[in-house]
Amino acid sequence: MTREKTDFWVGLFILLGLIALVFLALRAGNMSSFTFTPTYRVQAHFDNVGGLKVRAPIKSSGVVVGRVAAIGFDNQRFQATVMLDLEQSYVFPKDTSASILTSGLLGEQYIGLTPGGDEQNLADGDTIEFTQSAVVLEDLISKFLYSSAEKEGTGPGAGAAAPAASH
């Protein structure tokens, strides 16, 4: 092989490696889903957002209809505030509910929208009133362990023996 052919193949290999690195960086940063479709922004308040992240998908019936734009804390309500960018091609009634769900058992968290029946639709700047916070696995485990320990301590014969009667 001539030197020019070798240089060409080495250059092509390096270029493919750089493209692969950019792809992996975008996937790791959840940035590969950038779209230039117009959106409208609504907000929702949650007691606990769990592991929800910015750019997490917003789904309705399994279809991605938007992305989480920002997550903050409301000092007046003492709740997390989540800003949602919904694609303008998808409209939802004003009484839509938002839930923080998990893909699989330990997968990433996303927001699931369940449409209501209101005749008016959500618009830019509106607030989703009906929300359900994230289910935190650690809380479920601690509740289970606490209830198990409580049941063991209150079963028959688990208490202290009755004091003997004195004469």
- pLDDT digits 0-9 by tens, 107-164: 788 999 999 999 999 999 999 999 988 877 777 788 888 887 777 765 555 455 445 5
pTM over 0.85: no
Residue 14 has pLDDT above 90, yes or no: yes
Torsion-angle region of 73 (φ positive above 0: left; ψ -120 to 50: alpha; else: beta): beta
Residue 28 has pLDDT above 80, yes or no: no
Nearest 5°: phi and psi at 81? -110, 125
CA–chain centroid gap for 138, Å, is 16
Residue 62 has pLDDT above 60, yes or no: yes
Residue 50, SS3 per DSSP: coil
Assigned token pair, 146: 């606490």
